[in-house]
Amino acid sequence: MADLTHIDENGNAVMVDVSDKSETERTATARGSIEMQPETMALIQSGNVKKGDVLSIAQLAGIMGAKRTPDLIPLCHPLNLSSVKVQLSCDTQRNAVDITATCKLTGQTGVEMEALTAVSVAALTVYDMCKAVDKGMRIVNIRLTHKAGGKSGIFEAD
């Protein structure tokens, strides 16, 4: 198993030094869902949530979340993202909003945390906008599904 990179030999937290890494194109995709009552799904699809268009606002929040990742997660590098795409879709069979985020850049470190943050913030936004009618919603299965670039190469989740 690999060593933890954010802890030095004395047990102190450190930001990983990426100055010797070469710049490569890096991408990461994360996915997750928020499960809800059928009535909540119907409200989202009909556009009748009092706070507004849930999917559009959550999409924008996810993009903003990716851009703010180093402000939220200690030791994350501030990155010059070249692309952030967040997609939300309604699955009425599961009464879930499925969220996918893909982040991209050319740089010295990966964008996994940005993609995961985008999905998390989008899901939290759906929750916030719908909590008045459904406090039992569940944010589930947030995980990295794809990563490419850098010396570790390509990762594809099962």
**What is the per-residue pLDDT across 86-141, written as a single tens digit (0 to 9) for each?**
999 999 999 999 999 999 999 999 999 999 999 999 999 999 999 999 999 999 99
pTM value? 0.93
- Beta carbons of 32 and 99 less than 8 angstroms apart: yes
CB 122 within 8 A of CB 36: no
Q: What is the largest CA-CA distance in the chain?
A: 56
**Phi/psi of residue 117, nearest 5 degrees:** -65, -40
Span of 19-28, 54-63, 101-110, 125-134 with lowest mean pLDDT: 19-28
Tell me, what amino acid is at 151?
K
Catalytic residue chosen out of the listed positions 3, 8, 17, 128: 128
The four Cα atoms 114, 124, 140, 134 give a dihedral, to 10 degrees, of: -170
Question: How confident is the model over 37-51, as pLDDT tens digits?
Answer: 999 999 999 988 888
Kindly report which listed range (22-26, 47-51, 91-95, 142-146) carries the lowest average pLDDT score: 47-51
Is 17 assigned a catalytic role? no
